[in-house]
Amino acid sequence: MQPLLSVGNLVKRYAAPRSSGPHDKLAALDGVSLSIAPKTTVALVGESGSGKSTLALCIACLERPTSGTITFAGIDLAALDENRQRQFRPQIQLVFQDPSSSLNPRWTALEIITEPLLVQRRFTKQERIDKACALLDRVGIPRKMANRRADELSGGQKQRLAIARSLALEPKLIILDEALSALDCSVQAQISNLLLELQSSLGLTYLLITHDFAMAGHLADQIVVMDRGRIVESGSAERILSSPNHGATCSLLAATPRIAEAHVELVIS
């Protein structure tokens, strides 16, 4: 089956600023290739500085790669100029880590969801409101919160709102950049269930960027491990988690905090 998105030998270099600490060297992408099959979830795992966010920004056409191809539904996005790229933006959406800073705290929930619809200029006001309410229902935000300002919502509700906003333009691919990392455990569970449900009912494809192997293992079909701008290992989730090959994968797995196996068995039973 043809992949929905395939990245070919992507390279991105930034000019490093002078007199900054060593950790500040902006991550280059050094020849990254991967493919994402439709209606699946690929998890991109790596330390900060490994290039995962840069890759996400390039795929979402928010950064221009230095060289390489990004083929989406058969078309090379990297080769298009900005105007043509903009036509594809609705199909690739982003959800960020911190909903407090990715949502305008002064806008109401309804305003936040209708904004992308407004920009598209295809819908009447009533259509926009109807679509927005339908989306709020979809993500589990009660209708009475529709006119509340974003800063009055809880962390979990804000993230649901961010997801609803990303669904507004009926995308094919949603990039979740550490979208679950800042949430409490119980809220993480709710949001991850929501994501799974949306995937099965809407046929969405996810690119999940995270450094949490547990979540990656739970949500993803494929796991891709990045280290210093390169992909060092990739494969099915089961394989990577049970028998990792590369040193970076092993050390990341080892570093993931976990409750010992004995503890978990008893909780499940």
Partner 1 sequence: MTPLLKVRNLQVAYYARTGEVCPALAGVHFDLNSGEILGVLGESGSGKSTLAAALLRLLPTNAHIGQGSVLFEGKNLLEASPQELQKIRGGRIGLIFQEPSSSLHPTLPVGQQVSDVLAAHQPLDRRSLAEKTSQLLATVFPADADRVSHSYPHELSGGQRQRVLIAQAIACGPSLVIADEPTASLDPTTQQEILQLFRTLRQKFDLAMILITHNPALLADLADRILVLYAGRVAEIAPTEKMLSSPQHPYTAALMRCLPPQAGEAQRARKAPLCVIAGDPPDLSPQARGCLFEPRCTEAMEVCRREEPDAFAVSATHEVSCFRFAR
Partner 2 sequence: MRYVLRRTLHAVFLLLGVSLLTFLFSSLTPGNYFDEMRLNPQIAPETVAALRAQYQLDRPLPLRYLHWLNAVAHGELGFSFAYNSPVGPLLWVRARNTLLLTVTATLLAWLLALPLGVWSAARFGRAPDRVLSWMTASLLVIPDLVLALGLLILAVRTGWFPTGGLVSVGFEDLSPLRKLGDVAWHMTLPVIALVLAALPMLIRHVRASVAEILEAPFLRAAAGHGIPHRKLLYGYALRAAANPLISLFGFSVGTLLSGSLLVEVIMSWPGLGPLLLEAILARDLYVVIGGVLLSMVFLVGGNLFADMLLYWADPRIRTAASAK
**Using CA atoms, how far apart are residues 203 and 228, in angstroms rounded to an integer?**
32
Contact 210, 197 (CB under 8 A): no
Q: Which residue has the tokens 């499940």?
A: 268
Nearer Cβ to partner 2 (26/187) = 26
**Using CA atoms, how far apart are residues 62 and 59, in angstroms rounded to an integer?**
8
Q: Which does 18 bind (CB under 5 to 8 A by kind): partner 1, partner 2, none?
A: partner 2
Q: Does 25 bind partner 2 (CB under 8 A)?
A: no
Core vs surface per residue 218-245: b (16+ CB within 10 A) or e: ebbebbbbbbebbbbbbbebeebbeebe
Q: Which does 196 bind (CB under 5 to 8 A by kind): partner 1, partner 2, none?
A: partner 1
Q: Which residue has the tokens 């060289």?
A: 67
Q: Which does 198 bind (CB under 5 to 8 A by kind): partner 2, partner 1, none?
A: none
Q: Which does 197 bind (CB under 5 to 8 A by kind): partner 2, partner 1, none?
A: partner 1
Q: Which does 255 bind (CB under 5 to 8 A by kind): partner 1, partner 2, none?
A: partner 1
CB of 42 to partner 1, least distance (A): 13
**Exposed / middle / buried, residue 185 (Cβ in 10 Å: 0-12, 13-18, 19+):** exposed
Q: Which does 17 bind (CB under 5 to 8 A by kind): partner 1, partner 2, none?
A: partner 2
Q: Which does 1 bind (CB under 5 to 8 A by kind): partner 1, partner 2, none?
A: none
Nearer Cβ to partner 2 (25/86) = 25
Nearer Cβ to partner 2 (24/184) = 24
| Greatest pairwise CA separation for the chain in angstroms | 57
**Using CA atoms, how far apart are residues 60 and 179, in angstroms rounded to an integer?**
16
CB of 61 to partner 1, least distance (A): 27
Q: Which residue has the tokens 């295809």?
A: 122
Q: Does 9 bind partner 2 (CB under 8 A)?
A: no
User: Can you give the binding site for partner 1, defined by CB under 8 A?
Assistant: 20-21, 23-24, 47-48, 154-155, 184-190, 192-193, 196-197, 211-219, 237-238, 241-242, 251-264, 266-268
Q: Does 101 bind partner 2 (CB under 8 A)?
A: no
Pull the structure tokens for residue 236. Answer: 């099915």
Nearer Cβ to partner 1 (124/243) = 243
**Exposed / middle / buried, residue 79 (Cβ in 10 Å: 0-12, 13-18, 19+):** exposed
State which of residues 17, 22, 74, 257 lies at the interface with partner 2 (CB under 8 A).
17
- The length of the chain is 269
CA 63-67-70 angle, to 5 degrees, is 65
In the 8-state DSSP scheme, what is residue 96? Answer: -
Q: Does 18 bind partner 2 (CB under 8 A)?
A: yes
List contacts with partner 2 (CB under 8 A): 17-20
